Chain A
Amino acid sequence: MTGLERRARLLLRAYPPAYRQARGEEILGTLLEATPPGRAWPPPRDAWSLIRGGLAARAARNRRSGLATSLRQAALLGFVLFLTKDAGEQFQDFSFAHSVADGVIPLLDGCLLLAALAAAWAGQRTLAMIAAIAAGPAAALREYILKGTPFFRLPASTRAGLILWVALALLALAALVALARDAERPARTWLSLPGLALALLVLERFWQYQGSYHIPHDQLATIVLAAFIPAFCWLATDVRPALGLMVFLLLSELLAVVEGTQATLMLGEPAGSFWREYGSNLLSLAFAVAVTAAGAWLLRRQTRTRRGAAS
């Protein structure tokens, strides 16, 4: 294999694997014939056209699912991200526990949550339901134990706060189970997002051990650039992961409101002080709502264009 062919094959990776398998050799043959002899790289015009063509082929593939399926997949990603963060926090609680007995419930809850997430992602609704049914009481038990006082001896306001929090966790789990469908499994590449969320939570714990840790500015710029370019290419071909992230952001805001209400109920803080502090979150809430609406509109438009092209 010549250097030119190796580099041309690298450019072909812009196309989705199935497309590459069907037409990769044909495109490669044409590209090699069209490239003047003596060149080590395909001409820039050809290289750019392959990248653009590959992204267009990926975008066309991603638009094949209908609007309802796409929205469900995006929502599933949002709930998976939300519950992954919760599972990661359980593992953090486990690592902070002073004794094995203190850490068992968070560890169990974290593992059950991950099992429910994995089953939902794989479209195994029954398995997801079993894991979710087990994770729900574990979450309630965790809160019960962390407060250190038997539930029914807690003040009514504290009980109400705990119930609110557990209700949100149960609702998220119920939504996760409802969204799990074997025929609508999201792309494997999307798993990088919950994987990244879990890795960040582990890293955060690691940095807490190490004391203060600062990434040098030049390294940070390289990391951001290296992450930004593939992320841009990905989002340019598929709007669904961005929608999933927005669902996650909306759920996180809902959690902030629940926790604020919980603090108001449990600590007897005046309700007004929470809402005054929450005012600063309104910007991110507005951003999430705007991006979700724009993403849903774009998906709807793409679905209509596809139908129009097919007819």
Chain B
Amino acid sequence: MREPTYFVLAALLAGPLHGYAIIKRAGELSDGRVRLATGTLYTALDRLTSEGHVELVSEETVAGRIRRSYGLTQAGAAALRAEARRMAEAAQIVIEPAAPARGLARKARPA
């Protein structure tokens, strides 16, 4: 899962949001590191909707323009959790290298 996709799903974890709110929330969650461009957001939303990870929750008209809110599906929440676990395990190898290193030391044979 690419980082923008991860943060789009993470932004929706607290509840349904519309396009601009997703961009703002993703920026807040990543301390301003992930700045979703509008085109990138809608490409990701299209893909996530077709994969069943995100669904259209509501539609309203604001200042003469349609505004749609999107929410996370159960499959989307599960995919997000799986990705978070995968990243945590990958991070653990670097942040707390002791346990895997011992395992590697046991397997190592002197030349």
Contacts and interface: CB of A to CB of B under 8 A. Distances in A.
B39 A49 contact: yes
Contacts of B35: 45
B66 A53 contact: no
A49 B62 CA distance: 24
Interface in B1-25: 18-20, 23
Interface stretch (A30-38, A103-111, A140-148): A30-38
A55 B46 CA distance: 14
Contact of A27 (B42, B50, B62, B63): B42
A49 B65 contact: no
Interface in B37-58: 37-43, 46, 50-51
A48 B38 CA distance: 10
B67 interface: yes
Nearest to B61: A25
A6 interface: no
A135 to B, nearest CB: 46
B68 interface: yes
B68 A53 contact: no
Nearest to B68: A26
Contact of A23 (B23, B42, B62, B63): B42
Contacts of B37: 45-46, 48-50
Contact of B23 (A30, A42, A50, A51): A30
Given A45-B35, A48-B37, A49-B37, A30 B20 contact: yes
A34 B65 contact: no
Interface of A: 23, 25-31, 33-34, 42, 45-46, 48-54, 56-57, 309
19 contacts: A25-B65, A26-B68, A27-B19, A27-B38, A27-B42, A29-B19, A29-B63, A29-B66, A29-B67, A30-B23, A33-B20, A34-B23, A34-B38, A42-B38, A49-B40, A50-B37, A51-B39, A53-B42, A53-B43
